[in-house]
């Protein structure tokens, strides 16, 4: 019986890891907005880095929809960084700012290099 329980737990963990694949890795809105880097975590420890930007007065506003969607799928998350980003579709430019007034509130240590690579790839 314990073998069946373990198999069930493994199947659930695998399902959670597959659930991470459904979340788009990078979604940057056109314009100048705050962005957040979110680390989504499946029950088996599988992690996925997700970057989001959107209109919002605070970084929490930008993260809210994604974090709620992760919670709805029983996935954990951490928010290690963020800042501001400008996407200009006409000029085909993206500029990332590594500073934020919210760094003290969130304890951000912006992993800007990872976010930059994800956005440009």
DSSP state, residue 22: T
Out of 48, 52, 59, 87, the active site residue is: 59
Q: Is 48 annotated as a binding residue?
A: no
User: Could you give the CA distance from residue 51 to residue 111 in angstroms, rounded to a whole number?
Assistant: 11
83 closest CA partner among 119, 47, 44, 48: 119
User: Could you give the CA distance from residue 77 to residue 64 in angstroms, rounded to a whole number?
Assistant: 12
Q: Is 59 marked active-site?
A: yes
Output the known binding site for substrate: 34
Catalytic residues: 59
């Amino acid at each position: 019986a314990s073998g069946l329980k373990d198999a069930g737990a493994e199947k659930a963990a695998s399902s959670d890891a597959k659930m991470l694949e459904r979340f788009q890795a990078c979604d940057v809105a056109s314009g100048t907005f705050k962005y957040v880097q979110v680390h989504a975590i499946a029950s088996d420890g599988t992690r996925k880095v997700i970057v989001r930007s959107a209109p919002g007065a605070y970084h929490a506003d930008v993260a809210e929809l994604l974090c709620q969607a992760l919670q709805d799928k029983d996935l954990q998350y951490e928010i290690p960084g963020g800042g501001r980003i400008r996407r200009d579709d006409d000029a085909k430019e993206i500029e990332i700012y590594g500073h934020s007034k919210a760094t003290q509130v969130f304890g951000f240590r912006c992993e800007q290099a990872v976010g930059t690579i994800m956005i440009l790839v």
